[in-house]
């Protein structure tokens, strides 16, 4: 299943404990990156090394993050579904080429407390590279990849310093998640963060954990490296947002009354999106999020999210378009790297 990159036994001399140095490093990173709260779990040799929280559950409130704090694990939760799908594959009720194949994520090695829940064949299918990821010298240096990178069924499958690794990230509403497994070392780490303001910290801390238990010396200070570039990145973000907002023509009005844009819109992926007139202004609502639409030019509006985290990361433009009848029937906007294109539907 895995290329023979290293011996099957880990050569690390780090015992099954949570080093005080690693504990202090994580606590300092939480403080340096101004992260409200973070939770970490480390497992090794089928034992739980630590499950611990750092910081607070909510900014401005004293409640601490602990091992019972609920986080949004986002895409990591798909691994639980993938395990259930693998069990159905074993029972002959599904095949991996069914529409459910996108449920690719996996957690564990197919056994629990000595009982095999998923066959070795199904596990191998999930763990095996399915699509090679082309790499560059910069990619290999940044990811510490020596040999290969690929996608499995959900996991990214690559080596980390020569050790075969399964990993993936997740992002929810203002939260981040990261999970990495080194199968041959029986070592795994999961990190959950309750903010988007430090987008690299979960992977950085996971690398520090892996290096500690692989007995890598000297230990790389990825947190400090990331902090060096943070002010410049924050300034670029502020400049980009300012450029968008400065482009608004003061006093401009859309070519049609706001009622022409109000209504219900739908997308097969993102679901329902509504435009409503509230206190004389157009408001977009998508799930739990709301945004005020400020006219820029023609049928284009600035989308200003009311959630400050969303507004910081996803300030964008949205454009309405009209169909052959002349009525507004679609809306398009960029959200991070995705383009959301929704069609207008009749009011329900």
DSSP, collapsed to helix, strand or coil, labels residue 137 as helix
Task: Please say if the pLDDT value at position 276 is more than 80.
Answer: yes
Report the pLDDT value the prediction gives residue 85, as an integer from 0 to 100.
Answer: 73
Residue 174 has φ and ψ, to the nearest 5°, of 75, 20
Residue 330 has φ and ψ, to the nearest 5°, of -155, 160
Bridge partners of 250, per DSSP, are none
Grade residue 165 by pLDDT with cuts at 50, 70 and 90: very high
Report the pLDDT value the prediction gives residue 77, as an integer from 0 to 100.
Answer: 64
Task: Please say if the pLDDT value at position 278 is more than 90.
Answer: yes
Task: Please say if the pLDDT value at position 128 is more than 60.
Answer: yes
DSSP, collapsed to helix, strand or coil, labels residue 69 as coil
Report the pLDDT value the prediction gives residue 230, as an integer from 0 to 100.
Answer: 82
Say how many Å lie between the first and final Cα of the chain, rounded.
52
Please state which architecture CATH assigns to domain 20-236. 3-Layer(aba) Sandwich (3.40)
Q: What is the mean pLDDT of residues 254-268?
A: 91
Sheet strand arrangement including 149-151: 47-55, 37-44, 187-193, 175-182, 163-172, 156-160, 149-151, 131-132
Q: What is the mean pLDDT of residues 179-203?
A: 84
Task: Please say if the pLDDT value at position 51 is more than 80.
Answer: yes
Would you list the domain boundaries of the chain?
A: 20-236, 258-344
Task: Please say if the pLDDT value at position 101 is more than 50.
Answer: no
What percentage of the chain has pLDDT greater than the value 90?
A: 28
CATH fold, domain 258-344, is Lipocalin (2.40.128)
Q: What pTM was computed for the model? A: 0.64
For the chain, helix (H) and strand (E) counts, in that order, are 7, 18
Q: What is the mean pLDDT of residues 100-106?
A: 31
What percentage of the chain has pLDDT greater than the value 70?
A: 84
- The mean pLDDT of the chain is 81
């Amino acid at each position: 299943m895995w290329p023979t990159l290293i011996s099957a036994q880990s050569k690390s001399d780090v015992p099954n404990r949570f080093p005080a140095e690693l504990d202090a490093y994580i606590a300092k990173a939480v403080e340096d990156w101004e992260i409200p709260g973070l939770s970490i779990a480390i497992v090794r040799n089928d034992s739980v090394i630590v499950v611990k929280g750092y910081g607070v559950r909510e900014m401005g409130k004293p409640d601490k993050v602990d091992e019972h704090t609920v986080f949004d694990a986002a895409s990591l939760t798909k691994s639980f579904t993938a395990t259930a799908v693998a069990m159905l594959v074993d029972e002959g009720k599904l095949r991996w080429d069914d529409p459910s194949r996108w449920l690719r994520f996996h957690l564990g090695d197919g056994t629990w407390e000595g009982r095999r829940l998923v066959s070795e064949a199904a596990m191998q299918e999930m763990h095996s590279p399915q699509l090679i990821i082309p790499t560059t010298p910069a990619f290999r240096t940044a990811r510490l990849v020596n040999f290969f990178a690929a996608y499995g069924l959900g996991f990214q499958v690559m080596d980390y310093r020569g050790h075969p690794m399964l990993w993936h990230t997740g992002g929810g509403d203002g939260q981040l998640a990261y999970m990495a497994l080194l199968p041959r070392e029986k070592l795994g780490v999961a990190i959950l963060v309750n903010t988007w303001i430090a987008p690299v910290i979960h992977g950085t801390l996971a690398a520090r954990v892996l290096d500690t238990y692989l007995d890598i010396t000297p230990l790389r200070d990825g947190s400090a490296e990331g902090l060096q570039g943070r002010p410049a990145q924050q300034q670029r973000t502020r400049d980009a947002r300012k450029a968008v907002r400065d482009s608004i023509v003061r006093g401009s009005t859309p070519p049609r009354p706001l009622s022409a844009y109000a209504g219900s819109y739908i997308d097969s992926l993102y679901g329902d999106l509504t435009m409503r007139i509230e206190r004389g202004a157009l408001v977009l609502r998508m799930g739990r999020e709301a945004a005020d639409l400020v006219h820029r030019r023609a049928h284009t509006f600035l989308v200003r999210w009311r959630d400050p985290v969303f507004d910081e990361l996803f300030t964008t433009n949205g454009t309405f378009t009209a169909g052959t009848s002349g009525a507004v029937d679609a809306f398009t906007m960029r959200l991070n790297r995705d383009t959301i294109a929704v069609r207008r539907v009749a009011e329900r």
